[in-house]
Amino acid sequence: MQLVFLGTGAGCGVPSFFCTCKACQEARDEPRFSRTRCGLVLMGDETVLVDAPPELRSQLIRENIKKIDRFILTHWHYDHAGGLGELEFYVRTKRQEMIPTYMSTVTKEWFDSTHWFMKDCLVVETFESGYHVEIDEMVYTALDVQHAPGTFGLEIEAPSGRRTAYTSDTGPLPEHTHERLRGVDNLILDATFWGRNWMPEDHQSVESAINIGLELEAKQIFLTHLSMHHDQIVTSQELEAFLHTFGDHIHLAYDGLRIEI
């Protein structure tokens, strides 16, 4: 199973259209440093989409992904759900069949009230913390995180027992989630802020994300949901140099990065 990072940026992306800081300029000069909003695709016999960022159409084209078999929506915030309309076009013009979809009760209430015109495009199964579903012999389990009501992370376990955790939006991990993820093979974690954490109840800073990964003794750690210019401005190259001091198992996630899980 291959995991593809569609996007790795926080809410305003990098570069932001309104910003000329050194991080945004780095991304304008070198497109590989650009960051669209967060989403994943898991590719095996079936293609599983996790979240629908506003740039979803261009992300899928960039990665040459031409089908979606399942959809998981971790929460309803715009930077994770702004591309939902692309799935309507896909279902009506190509797939001709509803996409099996998993979201929490809170997110489903939001979806039903704001995207009622897509009820015949997504067949929604309620997915709460602790629920799991098997897709392509991989077990997806919803993880309790601290963010907006109804938000969950994901643990993805392969038949071999290898585990990958995806928590792109979370404040301090609840204790039971923290313990569950101890020794995880791949930890993909919120690292929104560099410097002061503006929203400590809802997000991590780079430093706190690294500390969590080290505490959990995760074998590989990938930092995502990066804002790059909040609270302090930092370039990807500067962050890479900082991470290097911790060893070679801590990485910045980049748009288009692919890992085997």
166 burial level (CB within 10 Å; 0-12, 13-18, 19+) = buried
And the tokens for 135? 């897709």
And the tokens for 20? 């000329």
Print the domain residue range for 55: 2-260
**Residue of 11, 123, 14, 17 lying closest to 75 (CA atoms):** 11
Radius of gyration, CA atoms only, the chain: 17
Cα–Cα distances (Å) from 187 to 190, 194, 217, 221, in that order, read 10, 19, 10, 5
> Helix-strand-coil percent breakdown of the chain, rounded to 5?
30, 30, 45
**Cβ proximity of 231 and 197 under 8 Å:** yes
Look at the chain and report how many structural domains it folds into. Answer: 1
Say what the pLDDT of residue 251 is.
Answer: 98
Distance separating alpha carbons of residues 30 and 194, to the nearest angstrom: 21
Distance separating alpha carbons of residues 228 and 10, to the nearest angstrom: 9
And the tokens for 167? 């928590």
DSSP label at 191? Answer: -
What is the average per-residue pLDDT within 152-172?
97
pLDDT in tens, 210-261: 999 999 999 999 999 999 998 899 999 999 999 999 999 999 999 999 999 9
CATH number at residue 114: 3.60.15.10
What is the average per-residue pLDDT within 51-78?
98
Helix axis angle, 22-29 relative to 236-244, nearest 10°? 100
Query: Is the pLDDT score of 22 beyond 90?
Result: yes
184 Cβ contact partners less than 8 Å away, ≥ 6 residues apart: 155, 163, 164, 165, 216, 218, 219
Grade residue 119 by pLDDT with cuts at 50, 70 and 90.
very high
Give the side-chain half-sphere CA count within 13 A for 61: 6
**Cβ proximity of 186 and 220 under 8 Å:** yes
Say what the pLDDT of residue 205 is.
Answer: 97
- Amino acid symbol at 192: T
**Cβ proximity of 174 and 150 under 8 Å:** no
Distance separating alpha carbons of residues 183 and 187, to the nearest angstrom: 9
pLDDT in tens, 183-214: 999 999 999 999 899 999 999 999 999 999 99
What is the average per-residue pLDDT within 165-192?
97
- Percent of the chain at pLDDT > 70 equals 100
Say what the pLDDT of residue 231 is.
Answer: 87
Provide the edge-to-edge strand list for the sheet that holds 132-135: 132-135, 138-144, 152-157, 163-167, 186-190, 220-224, 250-252
